[in-house]
Amino acid sequence: MIKQLDLSEHYNKLNDDILKKVRQVFETQQFVMGSFVSEFEKACETYLDVKHAVAVASGSDAVYLALISADIKRGDKVITTPFTFFATASAIARLGALPLFVDIDPGTFNISIPAIEHALKHNRRIKAILPVHLYGRSADMQSIMELARKYKVCVIEDAAQAFGARCIYKNGYRKAGTLGDTGCFSFYPTKNLGGAGDGGMVVTNDDKIADLLRVLRLHGSPERYIHKYMGINSRLDALQAAVLSVNLNHIEQWNHTRMELAKRYNDLFKEAGLADSIVLPEVPEDLTHIFHQYTIRTKNRDSLRDYLKQEGIGTEVYYPVPLHLQPVFKYLGYRKGSLKQTELASKQVLSLPMYPELTVDQQKFIAGSIKKQIQSSKP
């Protein structure tokens, strides 16, 4: 059995380090926020090269609070992608603002730059762009920031799947999440930097936004029992910060390994003569894709998925129903056919097993199984 994500090896290796740190939390009894959380925030600031990291209770809260910090209000429009997890857009809608879904680029699965520009030209009350670095592949932040400046809107990056991915920016590199006004991360256990429960973070280079976020996560209360903003309870647990601090020490190595595994998948599929039957992801050498997910495209996705399941290989579909076609967003008025590239991708994508401990033999078995299924289904 090869699971789509298997964390057992990972935690076997790190158990001692993690338990040591967790014991310290119990000794100090600082269970919520406190020094473990601020230590983790500092470490993230250094690793991501960003001025402020504000830990919160989940990635969903991170996006929600980042939108409040950008003063997104009822009736405002926020351009985003429909090919993402629900939390990206629900955060917009919960504020009474309107997600303005635009289509994706079929090669990268990220939000299409011409589609953003088209939306900016033809709509009023657009306040922000919310790109997602999907599957760990960084969105084209250079173009997004240029458009944001031209049209005077802010940028909130959803980097929940891309901790440590690099963005090409002004002839150099910057980490995903650090270019917009704010960047949001999730530390859900399945993420490339995951904890042992829920957790999230907002990062920013803006002192004022950071101050506001630090208050918003504490019920909008800058001092005890004085509530200045409509904040929420979104504190990170010290136990999560303890686990995450240990994992953070390995993230660079893990991201490199993910990239190597992606390269090996591609080589195996090419050697097996499958490059015409399935669309392989491009593997950039420069860590602009950290392969949180390794996702292929194929026309017969569902039958391939069923076959792999019989062979004991776990796969996932991220995401089978695009957000613009979700029942809860019916009021926005999108219909089938509104966003064609997204709808096609949702029928064709398949994410294969991906985690740093995946072995060569496992990858060979997966490639062999896919070859068998594709050959047997050819007329």
Ligand X SMILES: Cc1ncc(COP(=O)(O)O)c(C=O)c1O
- Positions in the binding site for ligand X (CB under 6 A): 58-60, 63, 84-85, 87-88, 132, 158, 160-161, 186, 188, 198, 200
Q: Smaller CB distance to ligand X: residue 83 or 307?
A: 83
Q: Smaller CB distance to ligand X: residue 197 or 220?
A: 197
Q: Smaller CB distance to ligand X: residue 60 or 266?
A: 60
Q: How far is the CB of 61 from ligand X (least distance, A)?
A: 7
Q: How far is the CB of 299 from ligand X (least distance, A)?
A: 26
- Judge contact between 107 and 117, C-beta under 8 A: no
Q: How far is the CB of 141 from ligand X (least distance, A)?
A: 16
Quote the CA–CA distance of 112 and 123 in Å, as a whole number: 17
Name the nearest CA neighbour of 182 among 161, 226, 213: 213
Q: Smaller CB distance to ligand X: residue 315 or 369?
A: 315
Q: How far is the CB of 14 from ligand X (least distance, A)?
A: 20
Residue number of the CB atom closest to ligand X: 59
Q: How far is the CB of 138 from ligand X (least distance, A)?
A: 13
Q: Smaller CB distance to ligand X: residue 81 or 348?
A: 81
Q: Smaller CB distance to ligand X: residue 198 or 343?
A: 198
Chain center to CA of 325? 21
Beta bridge partners, 296, equal 350
Q: How far is the CB of 87 from ligand X (least distance, A)?
A: 4
